[in-house]
Every structure is written in structure tokens, then in C-alpha cells.
Structure 1
Amino acid sequence: MAQTQQAQRRTELAGFLRSRRARIAPQDVGMPPGFRRRTPGLRREEVAQLAGVGVTWYTWLEQGRPINASVQVLDAVARVLQLDVTEREHLYRLAGIPFVREPVSDLEVVGEEVLGILEALNPLPAAVHNARYDVQASNETYRVLWPMTSVVDRHDRNVLYKLFTVPGCCSTFVNSAEELPWMVARLRHSYGNHVGEPAWESFVARLIEESPAFAQLWASGDVAAPGKRVKVFRHHSVGTINLTSSSLSIDGMADHRVVIYTPVAEADAARIERLRAIVDPLIGCPVHGRPLSSVLAEREAAAKHGTADRTAAARD
């Protein structure tokens, strides 16, 4: 039975690696597109070259042969294939190697250059989203406007998840009735390129389970193309802010984009500046909200408690 399970895992590993390789275009990793490519994405030898491993070894890995893979080698392959944390964990499990989920910084995810661009865009709110609406990095103004995608753990920093699960009274999204259907349609359009991928399937399943509104929109099957949108937000401290969202692709980061929010009018820009000037803004609605300092203090205390628990467990 154990040998059968190992064989099944190797078969799944082979298919997973091939599917990840197929989604990475040569230009995504700084390579020329070339001509007469018979298959989409990178070639095996290109992955091996970029990861610094032997072509034969990587070919055997992708063929599901019973070979050993070290943590360092899998890390290199995961980097080339641009795997997110969930996908990386899946890769490790299929390879039979323990996976430790470590905190990942914005710098490690998007790089110093992209972080510099985000900060240079202040006071315009700007962030890096992937195709699932995960917030991979953001600038100061974005975090002031939408703190609930920055004061939570990285795996919870998702725009759609927050919009569909935060109570309506605490949501700042005014024109959600217009924009949420479009955002879900955009998600489904991107999902077409990722059907069957564990990270995508678990994300969609989680939203369907936790949000009947999302489940209904998802069931409609609507798809939509990207485009410039006007989004309206209301913060109890400053009033309504109208923003036009535009997105730009990022070289070397497939399925990622910089999303920039531009004030529609001077009054909107002024309200952003007033919001930026508040030292300790309220998170949530006036009834259920708490000052940002309280939220951050609770997070820090929880993190310390978790560290203490892990230390005690290690001693035991």
C-alpha cells in the first residue's frame, strides 16, 4: 500500500510540475520568447538552467521517477516556477519533504524595485495583486485606506475575501453592488487558466462556503475582461472617496499587477490626505470598530503567545 501511495504521489508531482511550467512564459523570467515552441511555457531544460540543477535530474523529477529531492533544490524549482506559499507547500508534500510555513515579507514576494515603485506612488494608493486578488504588497496610503488587508496574516490578505466576509456595517465599499459582480467575473476569467490548481480550488471553495453572496455570483458563470473602474469608499472619519483603479503588469511576475487608485476629483484627494493625517484611525464601523493601535497590539500579543507555545512544544 505504501509503495502504491508513493507512486501516486510521484505521478501527481509530475503533473503538478508540468502544469506550473506550462503557465510561465519565457519573457516572465527574462528569457527571449524564441520561435517554434511546441509546448506552452518553459522547457524542462530552461527550468533546470534557471534553478541551477541538472537537466536529467529535473526531467526525472518531472517524469515521476523515484529520486530524492532536497529542500534547497525544491526551493530553487519553486522560485523559478513562481509558486505561492500554498503551491510550495503542495510541492513539498508531494515530494515527501516536511514543509514549514514561514512568514514571508513583501520584499521577498515582490522585490525591492517593485516596493520602491509602490512607495514612490504615495499619496496615491497602490498595491500588487495577483489574479486571485491576494495583496502581495502595498504602500502606506493603501494600508491607510484598507487596513484589513495589512493587519492580518499574509494568507488572509485577500481583497475579495474581505469584501465578502466583513459585515456590511463595517465595510467601506459603497458601490459593491456594481463592482463585486465584475470582480467575481474577473476572478472566473483568471480561474480558467488555473482550473484544478490546489491554491485556486481551495480559495474558491472557502469563499463559496463562507459567503452565500459569492457563491451565487460564482454560480452565474459570468466572466469579464480587465479594465479601468471607479470604486467608491466611505470612511466615517472623512466621508466618501471616489477612486479610479488602473492596473499595470509586472515583468517577471506572471499573473501579478500593480493596481493604482487615482482620486476622481480634488475633493477625493483632499479626503485621502485627511485620512493619512489621522494618527490612530478606527478599523471598522463606529459601532464595532476599534482603533488601529488596539488591533496591532492584539496581533503582536497573539504572535508572541504563538511563539511561546511553539517554544514549549519544542522543549517537550
Structure 2
Amino acid sequence: MPAQPDRRAQLGTFLRSRRERLTPDEVGLPQTGRRRTPGLRREELALLAGISATWYTYLEQGRKIRASEQVLTALAVALRLDPQERDHLLQLAGHAPAAAEAEEREPLTAEAAAVPLLLQPNPAYIIGGTYDVLSHNQAAADLFPRLIMEADRPANFVRWVFLEPAARHVLLDWEPEARALLARLRMLAARHPGDPRYTRLVEDLTEGSPEAREWWPQYEVQARHSGRKRLRHPRRGARDYTYTAFHLAEQPEQTLVVYYDSGDRDPKAEP
């Protein structure tokens, strides 16, 4: 965290940069005479935010004053800041950003959602931070039966592994796979304390699965990674699969997972 005087200077620079990118037309103000500087004038922004022009000038100049969260929120609205910019503004002013209310379903761009379809016939899906399946192709639906079937809420890979009997037939090494998956969920949940999506998911698992109930208190953690799995395909029988995980650039907790059939039949399992 920068020292207090430096943070005030950064706050002033940030406010000025965002003020200068707006035009009177964009915020519904009339053009009044020739402008020597780009964007809104300080008094115009102060008017939009409902605060004193002198006080706003002091804030932009980095003077030793403290803005309330209410005032900063009004400025964020007037400046048309996006959520990330608003959080940055609050941090520079010495306020912790308000915790964003968790959405029931994570947003996924249409371009990203189309990627699993392009990877057919390789099984592929995109999962969110809580392992909701946000997009998938037909090969994934075939390889993981009864995963894509719930109409009232998104399919969830962790729920499928622990609560769907078909998972124990598909995952030839069910216990180590399930333990590793729970350890990865533990790491993700730790990044979002108090997020109701993780709370509900863990409650579902520990209520419905004796294994999850036993393993969750052991606090095992593991990062998402690529690797190999032994899976039973509905038509080709037991097979060795290599899988690769890619984090989406703009949503790093969303992960594209792609499976490649190695071509080897697993001799240790019956089809």
C-alpha cells in the first residue's frame, strides 16, 4: 500500500484522468464556450456528483482531506466508473471496496461460450469458480452422463462427482479424483470467504456425501492443473485421457478444460 501522501496524489491523478475522458454531451450538459482542457470542468463534475466544487478541487489536488464512501460513490456514478474503477477509487481514498454481491450464475461471453463447440469431438467444457459448467459440447455431455441435466440451476462438476452415482462408474479412480477435486474447491473457497455460492455448495456436498463430510475438515488444498484421467466412455469403454486446463484471460477463475483420448484402452478396467 502506498504511503498516505502518495495515495492522495494518485487519487487526484485518477480522478482527473476520468474527468477528462468525459464530455458534456455524454453527461447531458450543454456546451458553454471554448474549452482549454479536455473533458468536464471540475465544477461540472462537482455539480453532477452533488458536492462542493471547492471541496472537489481540494480532493483532486491531493490535499489532506478525507472523502466519505457516500461522496466517493456519487463521484463514481458521475464519472461513469465501471466496478473495477470504482473499487480502485475506494482503495485510493482509504476505503475497502464493498464486497460485490455474488451472482447466481457467472457471466460468460458469447465468444468464450462458443469455444467448447469448436473443439468437438474432443470433450470440452468451461467451468466457473464454483465448478458450475458454463458451456460444454456434446462430447463432454456423452463422456459425463447426467452432468448436463438440471434445468433449475447450472450443472456443477463437483456436485456431479460426489452426488451423482454415474460418476463412480465413469471415474475409474473415483476416490483420488474426488479428493483432489475437493482440495481444489477448498483453495477456491478460501479466496471468497462469505460467498454464499461456496457456502451452499459445501453444504450440499457434506449433506449428501459421507466422503465429502469426512474429507472437508482435513483442509487439503490443491491448485487446478492439467494431467491424466482414467475414464469409462459409454461406447469405447475404459480409456486413458489427457486433459488440459486453460484460464480465461478476462475471467481467471473460469477455466476451459479439454480432454484428449490418448487412444489407449485401459487394461486394468473392464468396459
TM-score by length of 1: 0.51
Question: How far, CA to CA, are the matches of 1:178 and 1:158 in structure 2?
Answer: 19
Residue 111 (structure 1) shift: 2.1
In the other structure, the counterpart of 1:60 is: 70
Cα displacement (A) at 1:156? 4.6
The higher radius of gyration belongs to: 2
Q: Assess if the C-alpha contact under 8 Å between 1:128 and 1:138 holds in 2.
A: yes
Secondary structure of the structure 1 residue equivalent to 2:150? coil
Aligned Cα root-mean-square deviation (Å): 4.0
Equivalent residue letter for 2:127: H
Aligned residues: 193
Q: Which residue of 1 aligns with 2:186?
A: 188
Q: Is the 8 A contact 1:231 1:242 kept in 2?
A: yes
Match of 1:207 among 199, 205, 208: 205
Residue in 1 that maps onto 2:61: none
> What is the letter of the counterpart of residue 156 of structure 2?
N
Quote the Cα distance in structure 2 between the aligned partners of 1:117 and 1:234.
24
Residue by residue, what CA displacement relative to the aligned partner does 1:157-212 show, whole Å, maximum 9, x if unpaired? Answer: 11110111122687421111221111111111111101111111121112111111
Change (3 A) 1:124 1:237: closer
Displacement of 1:44 in angstroms is 11
Point out where structure 2 has 5 or more consecutive residues left out of the alignment.
1-6, 9-13, 28-44, 51-68, 88-100, 267-271
Partner SS state of residue 134, structure 2: strand
* Rounded Cα–Cα distance in structure 1 between residues aligned with 2:187 and 2:158: 15
Higher helix share: 1
Partner of residue 174, structure 2: 176
Whole-angstrom CA distance in 2 between matches of 1:187 and 1:44: 39
Specify every segment of 5 or more residues in structure 1 that has no aligned partner in the other structure, as ranges.
1-35, 38-42, 90-103, 269-316
Could you tell me whether the CA contact under 8 Å between 1:163 and 1:171 is conserved in 2? no
Kindly indicate whether the alpha-carbon contact (under 8 Å) linking 2:146 and 2:166 is maintained by their aligned counterparts in 1. Answer: no
Alpha-carbon deviation of 1:56? 5.2
Code of the residue aligned with 2:129 in structure 1: it is A
Match of 2:141 among 140, 143, 148: 143
Separation in structure 2 between the aligned mates of residue 129 and residue 234 of structure 1, nearest angstrom: 21
Partner of 1:87: 102
Aligned to 1:27: none
**Greater RCO, 1 or 2 (C-alpha within 8 Å, sep 6+):** 1
- Where 2:127 maps in the other structure, the secondary structure is strand
The 1-side partners of 2:126 and 2:224 are apart by 15
Overall identity of the aligned pairs, in %:
22
1:119 Cα offset (Å): 1.5
TM-fit CA distance, 1:61: 9.5
Deviations 1:140-167 (A, max 9, x none): 2111212422222262511110111122
- Does residue 227 of structure 2 align to residue 217 of structure 1? no
Within 5 A, what are the aligned runs for 1:255-270?
Answer: 255-265=253-263
Are 2:150 and 1:152 equivalent residues in the alignment? Answer: yes
Cα separation, 2, equivalents of 1:45 and 1:205 = 47
TM-fit CA distance, 1:237: 3.6
| Deviation of the 1:259 alpha carbon | 0.6
Q: Which residue of 2 aligns with 1:122?
A: 120
Quickly say closer, same or farther: Cα 1:266–1:234, change in 2 above 3 A: closer
The 3-state SS of whatever aligns with 1:149 is coil
Whether the aligned pair in 1 keeps the contact of 2:244 and 2:258 (CA below 8 Å) is yes
Q: Give the secondary-structure state (helix, strand or coil) at the position aligned to 1:110.
A: coil
- CA contact 1:207–1:215 (8 Å) conserved in 2: yes
Provide the residue aligned with 1:96 in structure 2: none
* One-letter amino acid matched to 2:110: E
